[in-house]
A and B are shown apart, each in its own frame.
Chain A
Amino acid sequence: MLGLIQKTGRLVFKWPHKWLDEVFGNSLNPLRHLGSLTIFFLWLVLVSGIWITIFFHTSVDGAYESVEYLSNDQWYLGGVMRSLHRYASDAAIVTLVLHLLKEFVFNRYRSARWFSWMTGVPLLWLIIPLGITGYWLVWDQLALYVALISSEMLDALPIFTDSMARNFLSVESLSNRFFTLMAFTHIIGLPIFLVFGIWLHVFRITRPIINPPRTIMAGALLSMLLLSLVYPALSQGKADPAAVPESLALDWYYLLVYPLMKTWPAGAVWLLLIAISLLLCLAPWLPPGRKPAVARIDLENCNGCERCVEDCPFGALEMAPRSDGQKYAAEAIVLTNLCLSCGICVGSCPTATPFRTRSVLSPGIDLPDQSVAMIRELVTDAAQGLKGKQRLLIFGCDSSTKLYDVNDAATAVIKLTCMAQLPPSFIDYILSRELADGVVLAGCANGDCQYRLGTQWTQQRIDRERDPRLRKRVDIEKLALLWTEPWSDFLNPGAAVTAFRNTLVAAKEPSVAPKGHKVLLRPVGVALAWSLFAFAAGVFTLWPPFSQLETGNAIISLTFSHASQRVKQCRRLSQKELNELPPNMRKPSDCPRERYPIKVSFRADNVLMYDQTLLPSGFWKDGESTVYNRIELAAGSHELFIGMSDSGRTEGFDFSNRTSVTLAQGQHLVVEFDHQQKTFVFK
């Protein structure tokens, strides 16, 4: 089931991936740099954000105008910065989601990778509120909607006693202090946590790719600038609590769940979010897999040279003080819970060479399930079966080309976990002993290595740029490196192998230069790809529009708090009762603090629209009861009635009021309780 989902996912990734490989070239394909591309977009957000902050007024009255100033009077700079700020945030969500999906469909999140995956999930919980608070600060119609719904959601949490949502229904009650708090959260609070979170997410793996290649950065920046100039980010009219716009342009990347609040109770929305997060957190163990045996150190053959530590892509190796009394200072140790059993460390260990035929072939570090000695045996066995003049020995990793069907008398395939598991001396061994006429290493394309750095390390070892180096005497012409895409399990690799076999005869490099017309088309493809990306990062900021209200409706908000009467009257204590109390507790009267619940009914044209009993807040049930409800009503004339009882009576009301109103479309009528006059008012 899981396998099927992942396979389908790979199929979906395949076509854009292939196309972009052709346009950008393998290693500059943005789809291979999604994590670092996300970081780059966050840099853009940071830089443009600093510019906006300089001009921003942190007050209810000033915020909107200060942002308008940027967009109108300073459109060429401030306006562009503002648009960049918005669109780069949206682009970050696009790349982030693709990053998550890609790790998922290529199965790079299970086993020891759980840490990277798990630390990714909180990043979602930081970046989404970051966007939401950003939209809040503009203080336009969208901001009002965001503020209202966010507050409704927060009110559903048992943290705040008073209703926050009530704040946003009238501008007078919205304090500058609260607005400042929002600005602080957006500009300083959340970003600090996000930076720390990203650091936690990547610090543990070896050499994380933090910056994408320059050309990708340039493309990303230009596409965002283009989008900013063509569709500058604009506000949607100053926030006006007295009106509800019929239709809003929602940024769906950040506000996807908000429209749910129209029909779902806040509790259900929270449950959905928590369920998704839990599912994501638990994904690495769903279903629990069997962990292959991890790398093991053989101290007899380890002198503490640290090469394995340098090459492990997952930070699963460490140096420790020598424990066996040999004359060395240090030894390598495996952190078993981080080890993915990729074998890359084995390929780096200097004592892992098949030429060791006198001593037991046991390197300093080895994989118990597929040791170097076992690989050598596989090689010898396979070689014995090979016939013909161009005998090929192919090493294939299970994550790239599935070479099952390459099956003829002159070809043998040996499966490894990762190409970098093979010490380069094996190639020398095979060719010098004429066990085969050619060797093929078939692994994952660079940037998409299932074990992150395996391809890179192998290529560098072959190129004599990394230890252990391939020895000079090896004839490179007899070696082919076949770095293929992770969806190659859909391809037939036979053709590539045949091509290499033919080059063995011709002893020439296979020509890989693209044909003429392709060279010309490349810039067009690059431009097209980035334009498409800009479109994808922009389109859902406006479309589809969201309507808060059915056309022709108005909104009525019931919003007030009220302290009801106490259940028991105060009573003077008698002298006898006083004497029984300890002296420090003596007081003249006993006042039980508990209050009655309040009962509120609202009718429109004699139809009951709202009828609730609300408990007093506080542990002792001695606080105010809070009413907050939004009711949609068709525009036109209505008879409205509101009643409330606060004395525990079951019949009738202690306070009530009625009125006739004519509601305009999109009008927002607020029903409050005036505590001085002790009466309801319609505003």
Chain B
Amino acid sequence: MALLEWKQAFSVGNASVDHEHKQMIEQINQLYELLGQPTTAVTIEAVLGDIHAYISAHFALEERLMRTAGYAEYENHKDDHEDLLDQIHELMFSFSENPDIGRKLLENKLSDWFGRHFASFDARLHRELG
């Protein structure tokens, strides 16, 4: 079963942002699947490295769009992005130290983050970018 699922309600009405959200969800799900199989910490770290790069770029773009639109809640939204980037980094090293803890972190914290961020922060963008 997939960890995250994209819903129409997630749409922010901007084609590139929606596209990237779908990609991100797909990447996270792939990682989750990978964790169900026997894998090495090195592989997981590498997958996380790629995810980190992808998400960084996504945030950069989303932030750009927010700034261009003069979005009032930019600061809060940005802080939440930075927070996730820090978390993914933490996660990368949790895996290399203990894959089980890493898996739990991914299941709980990260899926929480996405659910919360998509539903609250990104959903609010709809009015600005749509």
- Residues of chain A lying within 8 A (CB to CB) of residue B90: 473
Binds B, one of A187-195, A463-471, A564-572, A642-650: A463-471
Asked if B86 lies at the interface with its beta carbon under 8 angstroms from chain A, I say yes
Within 8 A of A (CB), among B92-107: 92-93
Is B77 on the interface with A (CB-CB < 8 A)? no
Is B86's CB under 8 angstroms from A350's CB? no
Contact call A359/B61, Cβ cutoff below 8 A: no
Q: At the interface, yes or no: A163 with Cβ under 8 Å from chain B? A: no
The answer to whether B93 touches A303, judged by C-beta atoms less than 8 angstroms apart, is no
Partner of B49, one of A327, A328, A355, A364: A355
**Given A327-B19, A471-B86, A472-B86, A350 and B60 contact (CB-CB distance below 8 Å):** yes
Considering only residues 256-309 of chain A, those with a C-beta below 8 Å from chain B are: 301, 303-307
A432 in contact with B93 (CB, 8 Å) = yes
Whether A305 pairs with B49 at a CB distance below 8 angstroms is no
B15 partner, pick from A301, A327, A468, A469, beta carbons under 8 A: A327
Least distance between A594 CB and chain B CB atoms (Å): 72
Q: Is the CB of B15 within 8 A of A358?
A: no
Q: Please name all residues of chain A whose beta carbon is closer than 8 Å to the beta carbon of B60 when the two chains form the complex.
A: 303, 305, 307, 350, 467-468
Q: Is residue A511 within 8 Å, beta carbon to beta carbon, of the partner chain?
A: no
Chain A: residues with Cβ within 8 Å of the partner, total of 27
A185 at the interface (CB under 8 A from B): no
The answer for the CA separation of A635 and B75 in the assembled complex, in Å, is 83
B46→A357 contact, CB < 8 A: yes
Interface: B20 (CB within 8 A): yes
Which chain A positions have C-beta within 8 A of B56? 350-351, 353, 468
Is the CB of A329 closer than 8 A to any CB of chain B? yes
Known: A328-B16, A471-B85. Is A305-B61 also a contact (CB below 8 A)?
Answer: yes
Contact with A along B35-72 (1 / 0, CB 8 A): 00000000001111110111011111101100000000
Which of A303, A328, A467 has the largest number of chain B CB atoms within 10 A?
A303
A586 contacts the other chain (CB 8 A): no
B116 at interface (Cβ–Cβ under 8 A)? no
Interfacial chain B residues near A428, Cβ < 8 Å: 89
A351 CA / B48 CA spacing, docked (Å)? 13
B82 contacts A by Cβ under 8 Å? yes
**What is the chain B residue whose CB lies nearest that of A472?**
B86
A356 is an interface residue with CB less than 8 A from chain B: yes
Q: Is the CB of A353 within 8 A of B15?
A: no
B67 to chain A, nearest CB (A): 9
Q: In the complex, what distance in Å separates the CA atom of A473 from the CA atom of B85?
A: 11
Q: How far is the CA of A305 from the CA of B86 in the complex (A)?
A: 20
Bound CA–CA A469/B93 (angstroms): 19
For the complex formed, measure the closest distance between the CB of A601 and the CB atoms of chain B, giving whole angstroms.
80
- Closest-by-CB residue of A relative to B86 is A472
Q: Using Cβ atoms and an 8 Å threshold, which residues of chain A touch B54?
A: 351
Whether the pair A353, B16 counts as a contact (CB closer than 8 A) is no
Whether A355 and B92, one on each chain, are in contact in the complex, defined by CB atoms closer than 8 angstroms, is: yes
In the docked arrangement, what's the CA distance between A350 and B56, Å?
6
Q: Are A358 and B89 also in contact (CB < 8 A) when A305-B60, A305-B61, A307-B60 are?
A: no
Contact with B along A298-337 (1 / 0, CB 8 A): 0001011111000000000000000000011100000000
Question: In the complex, A303→B56 CA distance in Å?
Answer: 11
CB distance from A357 to the nearest CB of B (A): 4
A95 to B45, CA, bound (A): 55
A359 touches B15 (CB 8 A): no
Determine how close the nearest CB of chain A comes to the CB of B69; give it in whole angstroms.
13
B20 partner residues in chain A, CB cutoff 8 A: 303
Kindly identify, within residues 325 to 377 of chain A, every residue whose CB is under 8 Å from any CB belonging to chain B.
Answer: 327-329, 350-351, 353, 355-359, 364
- Known A305-B64, A351-B57: A473·B46 in contact at CB below 8 Å: no
CA gap between A353 and B54 in the complex, in Å? 10
Of all chain B residues, the one with the shortest Cβ separation from A328 is: B16
For B85, the chain A residues whose CB sits under 8 A away are 471
**B47 — which chain A residues lie within 8 A by C-beta?**
358
A305 and B62 CA atoms in complex are apart in Å by 8
On whether the beta carbons of A356 and B50 are closer than 8 Å, the reply is yes
A218 to B59, CA, bound (A): 43
Which of A329, A351, A464, A472 is in CB contact (< 8 Å) with B53?
A351
Tell me the complex Cα distance, A351–B50, Å. 9
Give B27 Cβ to nearest chain A Cβ, in Å: 11
B53 touches A350 (CB 8 A): yes
Contacts of A327 in B (CB 8 A): 15-16, 19
A473 contacts which of B49, B63, B86 (Cβ < 8 Å)? B86
Contact: A305 with B50, CB < 8 Å? Answer: no
- For A468, the chain B residues whose CB sits under 8 A away are 56, 60
In the complex, what's the smallest C-beta–C-beta distance from A309 to chain B, in angstroms?
A: 10
In A424-480, which residues have CB < 8 Å from any B CB? 428, 432, 464, 467-469, 471-473
For the complex, give the distance between the alpha carbons of A121 and B82 in Å: 46
B82 contacts A356, CB within 8 Å? no
CB distance from B40 to the nearest CB of A (A): 12
Given A356-B49, A472-B86 in contact, is the A305-B16 Cβ separation under 8 Å?
no
| Closest Cβ–Cβ distance, residue B33 to chain A (whole Å) | 15
Chain B proximity mask over A4-24: 1 for CB below 8 Å, otherwise 0: 000000000000000000000
CA–CA, A640 and B63, complex, Å:
87
A304 with B61: CB separation less than 8 A: yes
**Complexed CA–CA distance, A674 and B109 (Å):** 104
Contacts of A304 in B (CB 8 A): 16, 61, 64
Quick one: closest B residue to A304, CB to CB? B61
**Of B19, B53, B64, B86, which contacts A355 at CB under 8 A?**
B53
Contact A357-B49, Cβ < 8 Å, known A471-B86, A473-B89: yes
B53 x A356 contact (CB < 8 A): yes
User: Please, which residue of chain B has its CB at the minimum distance from the CB of A469?
Assistant: B82
Inter-chain contact A358/B19, CB cutoff 8 Å: no
B90 CB to nearest A CB, Å: 6
A464 to B48, CA, bound (A): 22
- How many whole Å from B29's CB to the nearest CB in chain A? 16
User: Given the complex, which residues of A lie within 8 Å of B64, measured CB to CB?
Assistant: 304-307
Q: How far is the CB of B58 from chain A (nearest CB, A)?
A: 7
**Cα(A644)–Cα(B101), bound, Å:** 111
Binary contact track A643-669/B, C-beta < 8 Å → 1, others 0? 000000000000000000000000000
Q: A356-B49, A356-B50, A468-B60 are in contact. List 13 more A-B contacts (CB 8 A).
A: A303-B20, A303-B58, A304-B61, A304-B64, A350-B57, A350-B59, A351-B54, A351-B56, A355-B48, A357-B46, A358-B49, A467-B63, A473-B86
Name 11 interchain pairs, CB-CB below 8 A, sorted by A: A303-B57, A304-B64, A327-B16, A329-B15, A353-B52, A355-B52, A364-B57, A467-B63, A468-B60, A469-B82, A473-B89
Nearest 8 Cβ contacts at the A-B interface: A355-B49, A305-B60, A350-B56, A327-B19, A350-B57, A305-B61, A358-B46, A357-B46
